Structure 1
Amino acid sequence: MTIRWIWAFLDRPVAQFEECIEFWTAVTHTTVSPRRGEFGEFVTLLPDSGGPAIKMQAVSGAPRVHMDLDVDDIAAATEQAVRFGATLVLDNPDCAVLKSPHDMIFCFTPADPTQGELTAVVTGPEGDTSRVDQITLDIGASDHEAEVRFWTALTGWTWRPGTLTEYSRLVPDSPLPINLLLQRLDEDRPTSAHLDLSCTDTEATAAWHEKLGAQRIERGKRWIVMADPAGQPYCLTGRTPA
């Protein structure tokens, strides 16, 4: 199985959906696509240049992040994922919804050969640049080894340790719009995910995001934890946007 493209899918409660669309289109310099789905619950954020990499869905539950993985053969990819320990949640004609061994939702979706180049970086009002370029999987301490083994097998990507012992990453053979970072938590809970934005100036980007409706949660070693208008955490990290 080859993953042709990866999407960050932002699931946001119906009550905050419009506010979240406004926020995320502003911070990514994108426009919202026409609505899709029976209730108009799906949208794609369309950049001025490069292939889109963020989708959003209005949901009845709590906010979360999941991934869509574009593949050539959804049925074969699903069969392989189940062999590695995934659970099939829903099998639709145009996608398959699965859970990792420790409850991270992801989907297989049809590959589109026309996605194009990676999305361009965004320049903030103070000249700082940023880009949504990473999904971090937050993995409970007891589940970490098994979950890392699952995602390494599923993607077929190269596992590399991080500079901090609690982090590692999976590196694809060719560039994709969203990278995968794996984080070992100090607690036991189901695997979840959050977005990371690489930033040339985390403080300037944080101040800009606050004006647009985000809240600052805490400062880490080289990052700032934020929350979007629905309260979903994301991180601004001191990495060069690429």
Structure 2
Amino acid sequence: MTTVHWVTAFIDLPPGLHAAGTAFWSGATGYAVSPPRGDHLEFTTLLPPVGNPFLKVQQVGSGRRIHLDLHVRDPEDAAHRAEELGAKVTHRAGPGGYVTLRSPGGLVFCFVTEHHEIRPGPTRWTYGHESLVDQVCLDIPPDLFEAECSFWSDLTGWPLRRSARRPEFSHLVRPEGIPFRFLFQRLDESATGEVGAHLDLATDDRESEVRRHEHLGATRDPAPPTSPRWTVMRDPTGAAYCITDRNPETGLLD
């Protein structure tokens, strides 16, 4: 088991989409954008008014994805453990630096040492409701589902729970203080390829939150049917995410 004391989600965007994606997610969260940093000024952080940051934007050469940073005491030791569980190391930054890996299903993640401990609370909007980006959903082809769920539970030591009502969903029991809940979604039988991921928001008024996002430039995704519990959206870069009825304080369905 690897002790993970924080999780950061990165929104990776190519140059042509980076500015639009950064502006949208700043507006969606209500968080300020840090000055850019990195050798090519490719990194920015969304800065909550209270608590430690947990959402960042990175400009990449091509493609669009979500990747995760797992904050640990010793990235090399954690990477060794992950390799034993089936992950593959793709980059090492050097002694004491970060390690980049792919999960058995191909999801990119990194081990880093940056220390955070204060989880931000929900943002209250002028509409009178609250919301918070608080969940990363792994979108998993059916042939990879069981192995990928087991990998993340074994790596973190967080218990795996199956949904009784929706067998295509499982999740990890999130320790107190961790900003992201891990949800696993088994895609339909036609899905192939590597594991992907998308972000989910929790809110106490989904319709008001959906309208707020539409004002920021997002659209409702017409392809999947809207669930009684969530609405699938597309941000201005075309990336899918969900607005859900989960309690923004606890992350759970009431």
Task: Give the deviation of 1:161 after TM superposition.
Answer: 1.4
* Alignment correspondent of 1:126: 127
1:124, 1:62 → 2: CA distance?
32
* Alignment correspondent of 1:194: 198
Task: Give the deviation of 1:116 after TM superposition.
Answer: 3.6
1:221 partnered with 2:221 = no
Q: Residue type matched to 2:219 in 1? A: Q
Contact 2:5 2:117 in 1 (8 A): no
Task: Give the deviation of 1:124 after TM superposition.
Answer: 2.9
1:117 partnered with 2:118 = yes
Q: Residue type matched to 1:145 in 2? A: E
1:208, 1:91 → 2: CA distance?
41
Post-superposition Cα deviations, 1:107-155, rounded to whole Å, max 9, x if no partner, equal 101141xx24211212233212110000001111011111111111111
Contact 1:28 1:131 in 2 (8 A): yes
* Alignment correspondent of 1:181: 183
2:152, 2:183 → 1: CA distance?
11
Secondary structure of 2:154's aligned partner: helix
Q: Residue type matched to 1:80 in 2? A: R
Task: Give the deviation of 1:171 after TM superposition.
Answer: 1.3
Secondary structure of 1:197's aligned partner: strand
Secondary structure of 2:76's aligned partner: helix
* Alignment correspondent of 2:100: 97
1:35 partnered with 2:42 = no
Percent of paired sites with the same residue: 39
Post-superposition Cα deviations, 1:12-67, rounded to whole Å, max 9, x if no partner, equal 12112111111111111111112111110001111000111101101121211010
192-201 vs 216-225, which moves further: 216-225
Secondary structure of 1:97's aligned partner: strand
Contact 1:13 1:230 in 2 (8 A): no
* Alignment correspondent of 1:234: 241
Identify the structure with the greater strand proportion.
Answer: 1
Task: Give the deviation of 1:215 after TM superposition.
Answer: 1.3
Secondary structure of 2:28's aligned partner: helix
* Alignment correspondent of 2:171: 169
Task: Give the deviation of 1:241 after TM superposition.
Answer: 0.3
Measured on the aligned residues, the alpha-carbon RMSD in Å equals 1.2
2:88, 2:23 → 1: CA distance?
34
Aligned ranges for residues 16-165 of structure 1 at < 5 Å?
16-93=17-94, 94-112=97-115, 115-162=116-163, 163-165=165-167
Task: Give the deviation of 1:237 after TM superposition.
Answer: 0.4
Contact 1:124 1:208 in 2 (8 A): no
2:175, 2:27 → 1: CA distance?
31
Structure 2 segments unaligned to the other structure (5+ residues): 250-254
2:47, 2:176 → 1: CA distance?
22
Q: TM-score, normalised by structure 2?
A: 0.91
2:246, 2:79 → 1: CA distance?
34
